[in-house]
């Protein structure tokens, strides 16, 4: 059994799965993440572990969470709870964030169900 087939390399397996799901070659992912192509190969094989910054860049380049790459959640695209919403907040204006917060409050209070006021 090679090292990347053991349970010790969840990160490498997840990185490869996400890269394949996104249709990227190692070279393409390396370019997107600003890394040398050899780093992607080393990460996938389990020969090296990424730094925090490289982990973050890889997750962003693959449009997955670091939790997925680290094996903390099992789904690539679906982020549970607030994290799923949080990943988009950086793209909103302050006014839009306030609107979203208002909708969430109305949902919590049950005011959006069946046209309640």
Please give the full DSSP string across 82-94, using - where no structure is assigned: HHHHHHHHTTS-H
Question: What span, in angstroms and rounded, lies between the C-alpha atoms of 31 and 84?
Answer: 26
Give yes or no for a contact between 50 and 40, defined as CB atoms under 8 angstroms apart. Answer: no
| pLDDT at res. 24 | 96
pLDDT band at 72 (very low <50, low <70, confident <90, very high): confident
> What tokens appear for 108 in the block?
């919590």
- Per-residue pLDDT averaged across 55-61, rounded? 95
Kindly tell me if the per-residue pLDDT of 6 is higher than 50: no
Give CA separation, 114 vs 102, 104, 107, 110, 117, in Å: 17, 16, 11, 9, 9
pLDDT in tens, 16-56: 999 999 999 999 999 999 999 999 999 999 999 999 999 99
> What tokens appear for 60 in the block?
């962003």
């Amino acid at each position: 059994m090679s090292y990347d087939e053991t349970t010790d390399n969840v990160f490498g397996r997840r990185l490869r799965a996400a890269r394949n799901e996104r249709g990227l070659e190692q070279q393409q992912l390396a370019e997107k993440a600003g890394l040398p192509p050899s780093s992607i190969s080393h990460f996938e094989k389990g020969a090296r572990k990424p730094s925090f910054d490289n982990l973050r860049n890889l997750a962003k380049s693959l449009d997955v969470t670091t939790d997925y790459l680290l094996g903390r959640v099992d789904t690539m695209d679906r982020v549970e709870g607030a994290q799923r919403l949080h990943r988009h907040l950086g793209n909103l204006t302050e006014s839009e964030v306030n609107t979203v917060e208002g909708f969430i409050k109305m949902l919590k209070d049950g005011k959006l169900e069946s046209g309640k006021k």
